[in-house]
Amino acid sequence: MFINMKTKTILMLIILAIATFSLTAQTEQKKYCNEIYNVNYGDVIRIVNSKNKFNADTVHFYQNNLNDICNCDPRFIGGLPILEKVMKSVFPIEKRKALADTVNRKRIILFLCYDDSTGQILNIKFWLYGVTLSDEESFYDVTIKEIYQLETQLKAQRLKVDDCTCPKNKYGFATFLMPLNRMDEWDSE
């Protein structure tokens, strides 16, 4: 599988937007257990583990290594069932119901980088839309503890790469949008 020119252009525009936003965003570090997370505040809250090897210079990495990345349709790598299972594990039913009761749209976007040969999730970037990040327990905010739990549990998972491998590529990249307002619907499925 290869990345066509249109996809490369879209990826580059996203990366440049991220880089531009990063220059104007307020940044701070938050610690949970032995992990330190870099948090960029703005209209969108961006969270990434400081140990993320693609974090130091993301724009430079993707510009110079675009051919090393396998960009698969998330439906083909079995990511959604894994994400739903992990999200259910991290967010208790009471919190899922509280988030569903809110009027504002609340979403979390996860950018996963995985080993293309094994499906092992290597790095995760989180974007929070319509929800804030809290250091303390909250039914209406995402906590740094929950980010840690999501990251830890997801990194223990393997995506199904049998139907979506790129023999020349080292890494796979997938993006998932999880509507927090609709997590309560998972309990009825």
Question: Residues 42-73: pLDDT tens digits?
Answer: 889 999 998 876 543 443 444 455 555 666 65
Pairing state of beta strands 35-41 and 26-32?
antiparallel
Per-residue pLDDT of 141-150, as tens digits, reads 899 999 999 9
Q: How far apart are CA 30 and CA 43, in angstroms?
A: 19
Give the model's pLDDT for residue 1: 42
pTM (whole model) above 0.85: no
Is residue 33 pLDDT above 70, yes or no? yes
Residue 78 pLDDT grade (very low, low, confident, very high; cuts 50, 70, 90) = low
Instruction: Specify the higher pLDDT residue, 70 or 34.
Output: 34
Q: What is the DSSP string of 54-86?
A: TTTTHHHHHHH-GGGEEE--GGGGTHHHHHHHH
For residue 46, what are its two tokens? 């961006």
- pLDDT band of residue 87 (cuts 50, 70, 90) is confident
Phi, psi (5° rounding) for residue 77? -105, 5
Query: What is the structure's pLDDT at 31?
Result: 92
